[in-house]
Amino acid sequence: DNMVAWIAARSDGEKYGEKLLYEFPKQKLVYGTSQIEARINQDTEISQQLTLWNQQGSQVIRGNLLVIPIEQSLLYVEPIYLRAEQGELPELKRVIVADNNQVVMQPSLEESLAAMFGKKQPSTAPDSETPVPSNLAQSAQEIFRKARQAAREGNWAEYGRLTQQLEQILQKLSQKANAEPKPKE
Overall average pLDDT of the 163-182 stretch:
71
More confident residue, 24 or 128: 24
pTM attached to this predicted model:
0.66
Q: Does the pLDDT value for residue 107 go beyond 90?
A: yes
More confident residue, 147 or 77: 77
What is the residue extent of each domain of the chain?
5-118+130-179
More confident residue, 85 or 127: 85
Overall average pLDDT of the 52-76 stretch:
90
- Read off the pLDDT band of 120 (50, 70, 90): very low
Radius of gyration of the chain measured on its C-alpha atoms: 18
- SS3 per-residue string spanning the chain: CCCCEEEEECCCHHHCCCEEEEECCCCCCCCCHHHHHHHHHHCHHHHHHHHHHCCCCEEEEECCCEEEEECCEEEEEEEEEEEECCCCCCEEEEEEEECCCCEEEECCHHHHHHHHHCCCCCCCCCCCCCCCCCHHHHHHHHHHHHHHHHHHCCCHHHHHHHHHHHHHHHHHHHHHHHHCCCCCC
pLDDT digits over 6-62, tens only? 999 988 888 899 998 989 888 888 999 999 999 999 999 999 999 999 887 889 999
Predicted pLDDT of residue 121:
37
More confident residue, 76 or 11: 76
- Read off the pLDDT band of 177 (50, 70, 90): low
